Structure 1
Amino acid sequence: MSWQRDELNGIEFYRNSELNGVGLIQAVTTRRAGNMALHTGDDPRAVLRRRSAFLEGFGFSLDDLVCADQVHGSRVHVVERAQAGAGARETHTAISATDGLVTREPGLLLAIFSADCYPVFLYDPKTPAVGLVHAGWRGTLAGIARNAVIAMERAFGTVPGDCRAVLGPAICDRCFIVGSEVADTFAMEHADAVRAENGQYRVDLAEVNSRFLEEAGIDRQRIERPEFCTVCHSDRFFSFRAESGSGGRLMSVIGLKPVESA
């Protein structure tokens, strides 16, 4: 099991052993850590306290966080040093209309928020550089995971074959039940990722994202599928479906440690 539970400053989270090392930090919070998103109607002061406690445990602050204004699209943004703190305290300062972030700047933590959608973590150890994607079904279908790898390749000279990709906690194929229209849309290019069963259609979003990552040049052996389903384990993670749209959001982060602490 490569995902390990941990806790810092009273904030519970999971981290992937393949993505945490001398120069890299990666984690995703849990339900017990509390809601980490500012757009769900929660008290913003409480959200910021949780975010701050979580970041401080890693030696970071809100000034180092970079958040996207997620729209379930396929746009990827290359994050520069000047964008440190974007969306950390207020939603209107987040990187607009974006579901993917990539950077090679040390000392920044990229963040996305989810409650069934896929967090896709990318790591290029050679450059080094990192990426983080919010892949709902629309973004998955539009190939946002592939777009993020391409963005790293173009912006940083990343060699996709050097990269590792990890899919974080999200809805599994048993729980992602869709109508015939969505199923048909996926089946046009990903027929074997769609399963009809007892009059219902199920889509394997992890498989579709993995294929796009592979198309971008990442070796299948270096793509890790999720260990946890947010619906099956809704006692541990927030789930939009299990909670009928209410509830909080998990925060996923990845970043290169500052050079002096690496």
Structure 2
Amino acid sequence: MEPFQIKSKQWMALDTWMNQHPSLVAGFTTKDEGVSSFPTEALNLAFHVSDLEENVQENRERLAEQLNFPVQHWVSTEQVHGTDITLINSNDRGKGAYSLETCIPKTDGLITRESDVLLTLCYADCVPLFFLDPDTKWIGVAHAGWKGTTGNIASKMVKALCEQGVKLNQIQVAVGPSICKKCYKVDQRVISAVNAVLSEHDPKPYQELEAGQFSLDLKELNVQLLKNAGIPETNILSTGYCSSCDQKLFFSHRRDQGKTGRMLSFIGWRE
């Protein structure tokens, strides 16, 4: 069953979790019904691409109205394709919500158990990872491109939650819309990094197409790393959506040759 369900032209909900936990808001945006020009009327939600700051602010306000979660309670980061994780509390509300200059610096993972805080990260092919422990209310979100993935941000998110007292077998993870294996071709440098983070006995989530060229399943690689970190396979959900294939729904850095906007992953508890 697809864990993400379209709620409007602007966003899809992580329904599998939200139906079980009515105060939870979690999902992923589309590229439609905004004011940015990628190419027209696009819902770009990132400040670091070639867009006017006021456009991004307006797009965020539109989404906030859809989610019933005010922008001044959002938290955004300066994403650097790394593996640093930041613990968020209520004092962080509004950081990065209205400008790049106020973003939490150099962070690709966020965790919190505070209510009325929306954790947000931006994407245009990389893998969004959502984390939830319904018992303790700890939640998290991570941005996993190939660098973050091979840096094992998935496992580091698990470790960060466990350090807060979360039990390993209680952690639920959802893998959101991102580029699929068919659309994601990489070179030997990337595959060498993939092999370095896997054991020799792990299934390899790639296929060689020709000498030095491979097709990589970045979603499946993250699933394998989560299982290696101790997350039960039954606790992991994965979407079938591809940011590149599903052109009507999503921006794609690879498909659009870098000239594109960004979607947003988000998770938070309403008070």
* Band the TM-score falls in, shorter-chain normalisation: over 0.9
Tell me the TM-score normalized by structure 1.
Answer: 0.93
Structure 1 CA distance for aligned equivalents of residues 269 and 93 of structure 2: 13
Q: Aligned partner of 2:232: which letter?
A: D
Structure 1 CA distance for aligned equivalents of residues 253 and 23 of structure 2: 33
Could you tell me how far 1:133 is from its partner in structure 2? 0.3
Match of 2:264 among 241, 247, 251: 251
**Aligned sequence identity (%):** 31
Aligned equivalent of 1:31: 31
Q: Deviations over 1:52-105 (max 9, x none)?
A: 121122222111100111000011110011111110011121111000000000
Match of 2:142 among 126, 133, 142: 133
Structure 2 gap segments, 5+ residues each:
34-42
Aligned equivalent of 1:17: 15
Q: Where does 1:222-233 land on structure 2 (aligned, <5 Å)?
A: 222-233=235-246
Aligned equivalent of 1:2: 3
Q: Where does 1:45-56 land on structure 2 (aligned, <5 Å)?
A: 45-56=54-65
Aligned equivalent of 1:95: 104
Structure 1 gap segments, 5+ residues each:
none
Q: Any idea what SS the aligned residue of 2:180 has?
A: coil
| More helix as a share of residues | 1
Conserved? CA contact 1:187–1:193, under 8 Å: no
Aligned equivalent of 2:125: 116
Structure 2 CA distance for aligned equivalents of residues 53 and 31 of structure 1: 13
Conserved? CA contact 2:150–2:197, under 8 Å: no
How many residues in Structure 1 have an aligned counterpart in Structure 2? 254
Q: Where does 1:167-206 land on structure 2 (aligned, <5 Å)?
A: 167-190=175-198, 192-199=204-211, 200-206=213-219
Please, what is the CA RMSD of the aligned residues?
A: 1.4
Could you tell me how far 1:189 is from its partner in structure 2? 4.1
Conserved? CA contact 1:31–1:238, under 8 Å: yes
Aligned equivalent of 1:238: 251
Structure 2 CA distance for aligned equivalents of residues 62 and 158 of structure 1: 28
Q: Deviations over 1:160-208 (max 9, x none)?
A: 2112111111011111101122122213444612210244311221122
Structure 2 CA distance for aligned equivalents of residues 122 and 101 of structure 1: 10
Structure 2 CA distance for aligned equivalents of residues 186 and 53 of structure 1: 38
Change (3 A) 1:188 1:143: closer
Conserved? CA contact 1:166–1:224, under 8 Å: yes
The reply on whether 1:160 has 2:168 as its aligned counterpart is: yes
